[in-house]
Structure formats: C-alpha cells, structure tokens
Structure 1
Amino acid sequence: MVNPTPKKEDTASSSDKSTIMSDDIHSHKFQTNRNYFIISIYALTVIAIGTIIISLILNFSYTVSAIKQVINVLSPFIVAFFIAYILNPIVIAIDTRFLLKILKIKREKLRKILAILLSYLIVIGIIAISLFYIIPELITTLSELNGTIANVSGKAVFYIQNLEETFPYIDFGIVEDKINGAIPEIISYGTNLLSNIFPTLINISVSIIRVIINIILSIVISCYMLSDKKTLKKNVKRIIYSFVPVSKANRLFSNAKECNSIFNRFIVGKTIDSLIIGIICYVLMRILHLNYAILLSVIVGITNMIPYFGPFIGAVPGVILFLVIDPIKAIIFAFMILVLQQFDGLYLGPKILGESTGLKPLWVIFGITVGGACFGVIGMFLGVPITAVIAYLLDKAITNRLEQKNITVSED
C-alpha cells in the first residue's frame, strides 16, 4: 500500500499550527505589568492599614496608654512647637519693623538672634511684671479671706452650739451618736493620710522637677525652631514634593497657609481683645471701689480668651469671693461683668477679630462645647480655631466637588 505524499499546503498549515501553539504557550507565561503591580501595592497597603486599625481598636486601653506615653516623651517638643508658633509673629515684627527698618541692621543672622532674644525678653518681662503685681495682691487676698473665713466659721460654730435652743423640738442625741460613730473613721482616714504623705510629697517633688526640666528644654527647643524655621519649612516641602504630585502639593501648601492664617488671626486678635478687657475690668473695679481689682481683672482677662463663655467663667471666682465678704458687691461685680461681656461681644470683639474664623455663633458654641468636653479649658480655647480650620477645609472640598459636577445650590 502506497502512502500518499503530503501536499505543500498541508505542510505549511501544520507548521503554522505549531507556531500558533507555541505563541499560545508563551502568551500564558507570567508577564510583568506596572499597573497590576501598583494595584497590588495599594491593596496590600489597605489591608495592612486595616489590620493595624482593627488591632488598635481591639486593644483600645493599650493603645490609649501607648499614645499617652508617646505624648509624654514628646511633650517638650510639642510645647516647644506651640511656644515657637505663638512667638513667631512677635519675632517677625521685631525683625522687619524694628531691627531692619529702624535700626537698619542688614545682617540677617544677627537680626534673627536679636529678634528671638528680644521676643523672649518681652514675654518673660510681661509675665514677671504681672506676677510682681499679682502675687502681693494674692497674699493680701488670702490673708483677708482667712480673717473672713475665721469670722464665718466662728458664727457657724456658735450657731451649731445653740441649735438645741433654736430648735428644741429636734432630738439632737441621734445626731451626736452619728458624729461619735464617724469620729473613729475620720481618725483612721487621717492616720492613713499622714502615713502616705511622705511618698506623696516625694512624687510631687519629682513631678515639679520634671516639669521645670521640660519647661527649660521646651524653651531651648523653641529657640532652635525659631532659628531654623526656614530650613525646617524647606525640608517639609522637599519631603512632600518628593512623594506627592506637584498639583496636589501646591494645593496642600495653599490650604496649610490659609489654616495658619486663621489660627494666627484668632490667637493674636483674641489676645489683644482679652488684654483690653482685662484693663477695662481693672479700671471699672477701681471706679466702683471693688476689692482685689488686679487679681480678678487678670482672671477675667485670661478667661476672656474663651469666646462667649470666658467672661462668665472668669466672673465665678469674683462672685464667690464677694459673696463671702459682701453680697452687695457680688451683685455689682456680676452686673459689671455682664455689661463688659455685652460690650466685648457686640462692639470690641467684632472690631478687633472681625471675621477671623468665619464661623457662625452656632459653630463657635459647638467648638467650645466639644473642645471643653475633650480637653478642658485648653480645648475650649483651641476648639474655635480648630473648628474654623475643619469648616474651611470641608467647605473647599465640597465647593470643588460641586464645581466638578456643575451643581449650584441655592439657599431656598
């Protein structure tokens, strides 16, 4: 039997098939793809971040203690940053307006050193002068209060001793039994307190020394921050530009500049406003012949840094103090603070602060309430500018999204 010879077409077709099969085999091999690689990196990053967040939530108590420990370690740097941030406008003003324009000092390094030194001397001098006037007033206040409290306590003891004559129908034997039964517990509590007072004093002394060291360290670090602020700013920009696209980095720096402006306007304006309110309070107290003018005016001026509620918070110590001494003076002082708060809220504050935060009163109260609940008095003060910054960023983000969608929202 003779086998037929294959035709040339058949031979060609078989070779083509083998070539196609080899191409299919090569096509199924793994090939690198940059887009898939980036997606994989993003996915792994999201999974890692999610795992960390879940573990932090599940171990919340450990997380809080770890955060507190980190904050304690970094507290000198955090305090130094706030000191440098507050003093920076003073340093700039002294450098540009006094050393450069008036004294005509051309050397930049020399101006920088002198501006930092003068700003610290000004702030420390203001604090020292304030303490020089406040401490004697405080000592006088405490001595007068001791005499007042002694008189009040003497009257209270006399009243208690004559309770049986004043209220003859009450059986005071039961009250005496209760008091006699509580005396051993009071003695035991006092004994335990005395036995633990020595370790407590040691802990307080160590804490005071640690606070003093941290304050000194914070001042030194803040000096370096003020001196090297241009270098620090440059390094931050280099890091952000190296990892973030240029358009997003520019937008980030623009937003940061506006947020810094909001903070600066609020802090500087509120400081000037509170200083004026403190001086007016002192003058009015002298005119009305109210005691403790310096001490209470300083308290009112400091607490006035808190918007809306500050003057009323500062009025509480004065009202309590005058209630012990003379209730009529307490009423006069409370009315004076009310008038002062209205003057500040309706005239002085808007003139100085203007639209420094751009917040409506509702959001100002929200910032004060939430900040006070979370961080106390400092939170009440910082809650307003922080809320203003968040509101600014949210408004800008929402505006950009609406512009991309070509949507205009009316007030109706």
Structure 2
Amino acid sequence: MSVNEHKSGKEKRNVFETNSKYFTICIYSLFVIITGSILVYCILNWSKTQKTIANLFRTLSPFFIGFFIAYILNPIVKKLDNLLGKLFNESKLRLSLRHTLSILLSYFIALGLVSIIMIYIVPQFGASFQDLTDRFPDMYNAAYDFLNGIQERYPNLDVAFIRDKINDLRSPLVDFGTNIVTNAFPLLFNISMSIVKTLINIILAIVISAYILIDKELLIRNAKRLVYAFLPKDTANYFCSTASKCNAIFSGFIFGKLLDSLIIGMICFVLMSILKLPYAVLLSTIVGITNMIPYFGPFIGAVPGVIIYLLLDPIQAIVFAILIFILQQFDGLYLGPKILGESTGLKPIWVIFAITIGDAYFGVLGMFLGVPIVAVLAFLLNEFMNRKLKKKGIHM
C-alpha cells in the first residue's frame, strides 16, 4: 500500500471520530431549540401556563414561607451565636451546640413576639373594630351633617360626589352583613378548611425554616460549589462577592426598616396614650406598618386616623395629624439615618420611582420591596459599568 493510500484511509476514519467542539455546539443548539419550543408553547397557552405557575407556587408556598422565616431569623441567630460565643468559650460550649441553642432561642423570641401580639394587640384590635362598628351610624350621620354644613356655607361647591361615595360604602357594608347571616354555614365550613390548610402550611414552613437555619452553611457551600463548577474561577469569585454585597444591601434595608417601624409604632402608641387619644393600639399599629414604606408611609398611615377622628372630634384629628408630622420629621431626620444609614445608596428620585412602580404592579408589598430591589439592580448596573469602563481604561 502506498503512502498516499494510507493517508487517505486515515482521513476517512477520522471523519467518524468524535469532535468535542462540534458536540458542544450541538448540545447548545439542542438546548436553545428545546427552550425556545417550551417558551413558545407557554406563550401560546398563556391561560394554562398561568394556572400551572399558580398551582406550583401554591404547592411550594411552605418552602417560600420557610425561606422567608429563616431569612428574617438569621440575623437574630447570628447575634445570639456571637453572644453565646462570648459568654462561653469553645471548651465549654461546642460550636454545633452553640448554633443549635441560638436557633432555639431565636424561635422562642419569635414565638414570644407572636404571643404578645395575639394576647394583647389582637383583642385590642377586636375591641376597636367593635366600637367603631357600634359608632358607625353616628359617624355616618356626622359625615352627612358635615357635608350638609359645607353645602350651606358654600352653595357653589359640589359635594354630591362625596355623598355618593358614602352611600356606595354603606350599601356594601349592609350587603356584607346580610350575606354573612344567610350563608353562615358554608362560610364557616370554608373558613375552617382554610384555617386547617393554613395551619398545616405554617407548621411545615416552620420546620423547613429550621432545617434551612441548621444546614445554612452546607447550603451556602453547595451553592458556591455549583457556581465554581460552571464558571471560571475569577468569574465565580466576582459572582460570589457581588451576591454577598447584594444580600447586604437587601437585608440591611429590610431589617433596618423593620426595626425603625417597630420603634416608630411604639413611640406613636406611647404618645397617643399620653394624649389620651382613642384607638391607640389600632392606629399606632397601622402607623408602624405603613412606616415601612419610605417617604409616603407615615402619611398613608395617618389617613385612617385623621378620618376617624374627624368624625368623632375634629380637635383630636388635628392633634393626631400634628403628632404624625412630628414623628415623620423625627424618623426622617434622626432615627431613620441612624438605623438605616446608607443601606440602599439610592437618591430620593430613585426611591420615589421604586415606590411608584412597586405600587403599580404589586400593591403595598411592592411599595415596600421596590426600594431594596431597585437598590440591588442599581448596584449591579453600577458594577457592570465599572467593569466595562475598567476594560477600556476609562476612569470616571
């Protein structure tokens, strides 16, 4: 056999040998085709896709709630772990035992807060709502008299729109009461089923959150292994570092704002009690919860109280409005900066933008979470631009 025939035979054999480059291209192409087909099918059958996603989220809701509980309790666990480490050295209290005790103590603290809310605050809520319900006819008549007085003083002012809204409000309230009486048994059955399902999900979520806290280090380690397995080392280092900073921004705002709102709610309750304003527990709780919304929260929380007090005693409405204004100034100028500092790094215009977009698409929850989410996105965009400018040798 000649040399040329030998080479020709070798080349023919190489045609059928595997080529890693083309194999990788084929795998990526197949992945893109399959992913694209799934996306097209989901878009064309959007109603079915929505139901499937809703069922998936409903099924996985205990895991989401469990992760949320673990995320909220994690800072408390860290603080307790550090405290126990200072009180007991490693020879007296092993690291694993110390971590377990920290988790148990954090759950006891959370259970204590929930117990206080259920024992002291919820009954006050019920009493306040009952009192407001009893006073509703008088408040309704007072509102009508108030509008009639305005109409007499200012004949050119049209208050029919407000009067119609009050009538529209009264009708649903009457219908709601009638429906409760006529449909009492089905309503109680549905409520009972919902309560049982909710309790099961809550218990399951608490168990899941406990496992997350116990295996936190292992979960983080496995997540890092996954990142380093699929990304180059430098890229993986940058990814983990950026993720850690994003978590610091998000958690710093969430926990800082929760603490800030708790303090504001407690101060509001104390001041309302000193001023002998009624419904102190109910309204101070509303003020504390809405205070978690930056800028607009205190004013949103003030509206229910001002409306109630206007119908009961206009002087009390003025006192309450002044109290909320003073609290807002104290929070904005002193307490908020002390607790939050520069946790988000956002300018006021971006905070307002985040609140507006969050409210438009996700309601009250979007108004609260919109700020830290936009802060994280702004940080990621800034990091991306810095890397691009650094590659180009531009320093700005």
Instruction: Give 1:272's match in structure 2, choosing from 259, 281, 284.
Output: 259
- Structure 1 contact 95–111 (Cα < 8 Å) conserved: yes
- Structure 1 contact 95–112 (Cα < 8 Å) conserved: yes
Partner Cα distance (1:402, 1:231) in 2: 37
Q: Does 1:123 align with 2:115?
A: no
Q: Does 1:96 align with 2:82?
A: yes
Instruction: Give 1:54's match in structure 2, choosing from 40, 52, 58.
Output: 40
- Structure 2 contact 62–201 (Cα < 8 Å) conserved: yes
Higher RCO (C-alpha 8 Å, min separation 6): 2
- 1:305 maps to a residue whose letter is M
Q: Does 1:63 align with 2:49?
A: yes
- Structure 2 contact 253–372 (Cα < 8 Å) conserved: yes
Superposition map of 1:235-246 within 5 A: 235-246=222-233
Instruction: Give 2:212's match in structure 1, choosing from 207, 225, 250.
Output: 225
Partner Cα distance (1:137, 1:361) in 2: 37
- 1:102 maps to a residue whose letter is L
Deviations 1:379-402 (A, max 9, x none): 221111111111111111121112
Q: Does 1:213 align with 2:200?
A: yes
Superposition map of 1:246-285 within 5 A: 246-285=233-272
- Structure 1 contact 368–383 (Cα < 8 Å) conserved: yes
1:83 alignment partner in structure 2? 69
Deviations 1:193-214 (A, max 9, x none): 8665533432222112111111
- Structure 1 contact 277–344 (Cα < 8 Å) conserved: yes
Partner Cα distance (1:221, 1:212) in 2: 14
Instruction: Give 1:307's match in structure 2, choosing from 255, 272, 294.
Output: 294
Structure with greater Cα Rg: 1
Partner Cα distance (1:58, 1:228) in 2: 41
Partner Cα distance (2:26, 2:198) in 1: 48
Distance 1:45 1:153, change over 3 A: closer
Q: TM-score, normalised by structure 1?
A: 0.80
- Structure 2 contact 291–297 (Cα < 8 Å) conserved: yes
- Between the two proteins, the alignment pairs up a number of residues equal to 367
Q: TM-score, normalised by structure 2?
A: 0.83
Q: What secondary structure does 1:101 align onto? A: helix
- Structure 1 contact 137–295 (Cα < 8 Å) conserved: yes
Which structure 1 segments of 5+ residues have no match? 1-14, 159-186
Partner Cα distance (1:212, 1:27) in 2: 67
- Structure 1 contact 133–294 (Cα < 8 Å) conserved: no
- 1:36 maps to a residue whose letter is Y
Superposition map of 1:1-400 within 5 A: 19=5, 22=8, 26=12, 29-97=15-83, 99-104=84-89, 105-152=92-139, 197-400=184-387
**Larger mean Cα displacement after TM superposition, 222-231 or 293-302:** 293-302
- Structure 2 contact 125–281 (Cα < 8 Å) conserved: no
Partner Cα distance (1:192, 1:278) in 2: 35
